Structure 1
Amino acid sequence: MPRHAPAILVLEDGRTFHGRSYGAEGETFGEAVFSTGMTGYQETLTDPSYHRQVVIMTAPHVGNTGMNDEDPESSRIWVSGFVVRDPARVPSNWRSQRSLGDALREQGVVGISDIDTRALTRHLRERGAMRVGISSADTTVAALLERVRASGEMAGANLSEAVSTTNAYVIPAVGTRRFTVAAVDLGIKTNTPRMMSERGIDVHVLPATSTIDDVLAVQPDGLFFSNGPGDPAATTGQVELLQAALERGIPYFGICFGNQLFGRALGFGTYKLKYGHRGINQPVLDRTTGKVEVTAHNHGFAVDAPLEGSTTTPYGEATVSHVCLNDDVVEGLELRDAGGALKSFSVQYHPEAAAGPHDAAYLFDRFCDLMGLDTTRSSLASHSTTEGER
């Protein structure tokens, strides 16, 4: 079979695109989603949140800077398939160690090129994300369409355990240790614990199957839930863990999937977006500061919470703290006590975005401030108790 064999892409509604094989040859299936970033494809490919998804790049020319060993967000490429219009023939960057096409082939990722990704993206915006198949092994449209419709759907899929670490590990604090955080890996990206460690945090990365006892064993000052793939409504164990932590008053910070699970722990529902948010150019309003941030997104589900007012929960008063300015999707939650003090918070987007933008990096500082306040409260409570016993 020639290196650039004919290939086809077939959506579950029958829409078909003919192109050339890119990356590994063969056949693959997943949920078709599009990413609007003009750069950062290496971080996208290695983001575990893309497990079982076929990513369409809306930027027409992809692969210019090649691939290196410094920028991956995990140990492997996670996308089920990759779709580009014009792949770079020769990468040109001083950090490049291999071409994007070679990296895809080495890791067995089936892709397709030379198709109209603009038309494909417009179709998904109108019809919504759906299942898709790519094949350079069998270019019979009817046969591939049948296999696409028999493949698994994203709704109802519990995938975090498939991408999580199996063994706990520690990313030590850089410099003086200020705090200890239990970070539950639901598909964590490399840059997340790195950004916490740079702020003096010992990060204990725990498997997705961890219990409240596993969390308490590291004596954390705070609990963190990472990004990850799948349907938040299909996840129960992590929600129960988070509720147990909230009952104990442990400060919490969640990102992406961690925001959706926080919403569920507070009693809100979640729902599947028509085509989701993916890319590095999404405008979000932080209602606590009144500032607009340009942010990195990768989510197909969202929290169903009231945009106005607060909701009383067993753990405190919950409010929507961040909103997407494109479509009013909930992009963050806050939990406060009766006196209005912040107890826990989460955001739907990615403040750790390695490829940028970095507008939201301050949220890691907000987490440190929250843990510092909690430590102060605990110290004052302990002192008051001691004084009362004298």
Structure 2
Amino acid sequence: TFTFPHIGNVGVNGEDVENDSVASATAARGAIFRCDITSPSNYRAQLDLSAWMKRRGIIAVSGVDTRALTALIRDRGMQHAVIAHSPSGQFNIDELVERARGWNGLEGADLAKEVTSQKPHAHTETAWRWNIGYGRSSVDGPHVVVVDFGVKKNILRLLADQGARVTVVPASSSFDEIMAYAPDGVVLSNGPGDPAATGVYSIPVIKKLIAEKIPTLGICLGHQMLALAA
């Protein structure tokens, strides 16, 4: 859900896709908006948001007080909900309620394994620049290993843009697998799910990184697990 009421005015383009892993391309199943999706008005737009979502089978609903919903989630945690569409306008409410009640919630959910990269790979693409687009880094700078819990590609681009040599490894990588790359630093990326669940296998690794005094940065989910490990 989005707290800002007007979504879609910049449209969608392939250059701005943030998922680095193919597995995370369809992680979002639905979206909730305050207002109907705005028509795009941006010179970089290749597609409007509604068409982009339709291509991916992502359902959405508008007309919801999303700021009130966000406050509810903040105060009472993740809510059980279903977004449904019927061309006939007829719904089986009891069935939808049961589907919502049947959701297991995020507690104990290790979603990082569903969206992480399947194998290690180097990242060389740098940040977008006016009239140039994305570049490629050829600088052999400090080696940063990024543990991918669902990393946003722009994080990788900005690391490369600062002169880092970037290697991305799967969420379940062991301490020895990470250290085999002789990193100058490690980034624990953002990602979905319960940090305690992902931390079952990640926190022992993070503790070893801390003990070995490897410079380590956590973002979002990675920051939460870094706090749990400290």
Measured against the shorter chain, the TM-score band is 0.7 to 0.9
**Structure 1 pair 180–79 and aligned structure 2 pair: CA distance change class (3 A):** same
Between the aligned partners of 2:220 and 2:36, the Cα distance in structure 1 is 30
Residue of structure 2 in register with 1:211 after alignment: 174
Residue of structure 1 in register with 2:217 after alignment: 253
Residue of structure 1 in register with 2:205 after alignment: 241
Higher-Rg member (1/2): 1
Paired residue type of 1:257 = L
Paired residue type of 2:12 = M
State the secondary structure of the residue aligned to 2:83. Answer: strand
Cα deviations by residue, 1:165-195 (Å, 9 ceiling, x for unpaired): 0011112483532211111101111011111
**Structure 1 pair 134–245 and aligned structure 2 pair: CA distance change class (3 A):** same
Q: Which of residues 105, 118, 127 is equivalent to 1:153?
A: 105
Q: Which of residues 82, 85, 92 is equivalent to 2:31?
A: 82
Cα deviations by residue, 1:37-76 (Å, 9 ceiling, x for unpaired): xxxxxxxxxxxxxxxxxxx222222212211111121152
Q: Within 5 Å, which residues of 2 pair with 1:29-108?
A: 56-74=1-19, 76-88=25-37, 90-108=39-57
Between the aligned partners of 2:205 and 2:106, the Cα distance in structure 1 is 23
Between the aligned partners of 2:9 and 2:56, the Cα distance in structure 1 is 19
Between the aligned partners of 1:127 and 1:205, the Cα distance in structure 2 is 35
Q: Within 5 Å, which residues of 2 pair with 1:143-222?
A: 143-172=95-124, 174-222=137-185
> Structure 1: where are the runs of 5+ without partners?
1-55, 267-390
Cα deviations by residue, 1:82-140 (Å, 9 ceiling, x for unpaired): 11132246322111111111111101111112344455445545644312111114623
Paired residue type of 2:44 = R
- Identity among equivalent positions (%) equals 35
**Structure 1 pair 212–128 and aligned structure 2 pair: CA distance change class (3 A):** closer
Cα contact 2:7–2:38 (8 A) shared by 1 = no
Residue of structure 2 in register with 1:136 after alignment: 85
Between the aligned partners of 1:243 and 1:58, the Cα distance in structure 2 is 36
Higher strand share: 1
Cα contact 2:6–2:38 (8 A) shared by 1 = no
**Structure 1 pair 115–246 and aligned structure 2 pair: CA distance change class (3 A):** closer
State the secondary structure of the residue aligned to 1:86. Answer: coil
Paired residue type of 1:250 = I
**Structure 1 pair 122–224 and aligned structure 2 pair: CA distance change class (3 A):** closer
State the secondary structure of the residue aligned to 2:46. Answer: coil
Between the aligned partners of 1:231 and 1:241, the Cα distance in structure 2 is 17
Between the aligned partners of 1:141 and 1:233, the Cα distance in structure 2 is 34
Cα contact 2:78–2:105 (8 A) shared by 1 = no
Between the aligned partners of 2:184 and 2:59, the Cα distance in structure 1 is 43
Cα contact 2:123–2:160 (8 A) shared by 1 = yes
Q: Within 5 Å, which residues of 2 pair with 1:110-121?
A: 110-121=59-70
User: Deviation at 1:80?
Assistant: 2.2
**Structure 1 pair 154–113 and aligned structure 2 pair: CA distance change class (3 A):** same
Cα deviations by residue, 1:225-283 (Å, 9 ceiling, x for unpaired): 101111111121111111222222211111111111111212xxxxxxxxxxxxxxxxx
Report how many aligned residue pairs link the two structures: 211
Between the aligned partners of 1:248 and 1:127, the Cα distance in structure 2 is 39
State the secondary structure of the residue aligned to 2:171. Answer: coil
State the secondary structure of the residue aligned to 1:215. Answer: helix
Between the aligned partners of 1:175 and 1:126, the Cα distance in structure 2 is 47
Higher helix share: 2
Q: Note the aligned Cα RMSD (angstroms).
A: 2.1
State the secondary structure of the residue aligned to 2:186. Answer: strand
Between the aligned partners of 1:156 and 1:167, the Cα distance in structure 2 is 24
**Structure 1 pair 225–144 and aligned structure 2 pair: CA distance change class (3 A):** same
State the secondary structure of the residue aligned to 1:205. Answer: strand
State the secondary structure of the residue aligned to 2:162. Answer: coil
Bigger RCO of structures 1 and 2 (CA < 8 A, at least 6 apart): 2
State the secondary structure of the residue aligned to 2:225. Answer: helix
* TM-score (norm: length of structure 1): 0.51
